[in-house]
Amino acid sequence: MRIVAIRECAVAINSTQRNSRFDFRSMDTSVVAVVTDVVRDGAPLCGFAFNSFGRYNCSAMIRDRFAPKLLAADPAALLDDAGTNFDPARAVEVMLQRERSGGHAERCIPVGTLELAIWDLVAKVEGRPLYRVLADRFNGGQARDVVPVYVGGGWYAPGQTPADLAREMKGYLAAGYRMVKTKIGGLPLAQDIERIQTLLELVGGGQALAVDANCGFDRERAFAYAEALAPLGLRWLEEPCDPMDYALYRELSEVYPHALGNGENFSGNRELENFLLYSGFRPGLDVIQVDPPLAYGIGEYVACLATARRHGFGPESMYPHGGNLMSLHVVAGLGLAACEAYTGVFGIFSGFGEEVTVADGHATLPESPGIGFERQPALWSVMRDLAGVH
């Protein structure tokens, strides 16, 4: 039982949308296929993943630095003790040989993406959907039956009118979502507040609406938005400022009475630990949004959960960023708060595929073995070609 090939390709996300800081027209992500010598139904068993959204592809790092380490390793070093399945933690250990301390962002994305693909393999070897495997290993066997989901939407788009935004949001509600998130900071404050007021009427109140500044505010603007947003009782205010400006987060948490969110730009457990030590983040209120493939993978995410717990934050504080199907399994298997959904905005990576249905703000779970990319047709056609399986 061994990995025989690792293939990757970079795929454009094909989006002209904007957040508070930039547009996404050059954004892409890496798709990876880990091909094994295990044969199922006459074809080699393959694990798949992609590196979520927002940090560009990591193809060269996979191809030149991390895949060669996995392929050069003693195959037994990548298996569990019984030798009957792959072991994602051991794969990470192999990938981190001869790597320096600190500077995690340099490598946490390719390592995390490969780790996710190996989890896809692990679950396929067990013949079960990934969330059930994760529940057994890390959550006492308890998996969510359905998963609370919310839509990451409300981007700024060229020529967008208030009616366009309302139409977008109505579409999410019609599709079964109950909570949505919208971008802020791409317009002057007064216009942003108007946008939000329109959306509040549509979704029926602040607890169904979060806002996301994508780290776009300096100190003055962060406080101005915090003051203007406070009366609205929104679900959370995400990334108001530099994600590593612990001191400013602390000050904001002292004046803003509702939830703050941060974490999608953390490179793993050490950055989360420092953030929780120094930022004044408030247990039971603020939300943590680490994205597994962007931060060393699911094993590191489980370490993040333990760190969060030591600082008073339980699974109800955990809202993984992006990742679509990957995050859906993590939320279901580890019993977390909710999963973000990018429904139609990121090309072939959009949505949860044809096995998942959304109703009344909750998503059902895929029952295919593994992550279930095989049932997400546009993405699967790229993955299938990459792996050379049909």
Task: Name the site residues for its own copies (rule: CB under 8 A).
Answer: 21-24, 26-27, 54-56, 59-61, 64-65, 97-106, 109, 214-215, 239, 242-247, 265-267, 270-271, 274, 277-278
CA distance 243 to 181: 18
Reduce the DSSP state of residue 381 to 3 states and report it. Answer: helix
- 107 vs 258, beta carbon nearer its own copies: 107
Bridge partners of 182, per DSSP, are 211
Least spacing, CB of residue 85 vs its own copies, in Å = 28
Using the CB atoms, write b or e for 353-378: b if 16+ within 10 Å: bebbebeebbbbbbebbbbbbbbbee
Least spacing, CB of residue 22 vs its own copies, in Å = 4
Q: Which residue of the set 181, 321, 329, 362 is catalytic?
A: 321
Least spacing, CB of residue 217 vs its own copies, in Å = 10
Q: What is the largest CA-CA distance in the chain?
A: 61
CB-count exposure of residue 127 (10 Å: 0-12, 13-18, 19+): exposed
Q: Which of 158, 151, 153, 237 lies closest to 193, judged by CA?
A: 237
Least spacing, CB of residue 105 vs its own copies, in Å = 4
- Label each residue of 131-145 as H, E or C: HHHHHHHHCCCCCCC
Q: How many CB atoms lie within 10 A of CB 237?
A: 26
Task: Based on the residue annotation, tell me whether 321 is a catalytic residue of this protein.
Answer: yes
- 131 vs 266, beta carbon nearer its own copies: 266
- 274 vs 364, beta carbon nearer its own copies: 274
Least spacing, CB of residue 239 vs its own copies, in Å = 7
- 253 vs 267, beta carbon nearer its own copies: 267
Q: Which residue of the set 181, 183, 258, 362 is catalytic?
A: 183
Q: Report yes or no: 181 and 342 within 8 Å, Cβ to Cβ.
A: no
Least spacing, CB of residue 260 vs its own copies, in Å = 15
- 106 vs 194, beta carbon nearer its own copies: 106
CA distance 55 to 29: 8
Task: Based on the residue annotation, tell me whether 329 is a catalytic residue of this protein.
Answer: no
Alpha helices, H only, the chain? 59-61, 67-72, 88-95, 108-126, 130-138, 162-174, 189-203, 219-229, 246-255, 269-278, 298-310, 325-334, 377-387
CA distance 296 to 111: 5
The one-letter amino acid at 78 = L
Least spacing, CB of residue 269 vs its own copies, in Å = 10
- 102 vs 158, beta carbon nearer its own copies: 102
- 1 vs 10, beta carbon nearer its own copies: 10
Q: Distance of CA 90 to CAs 6, 115, 161, Å? A: 17, 10, 51
Catalytic residue annotation:
183, 321
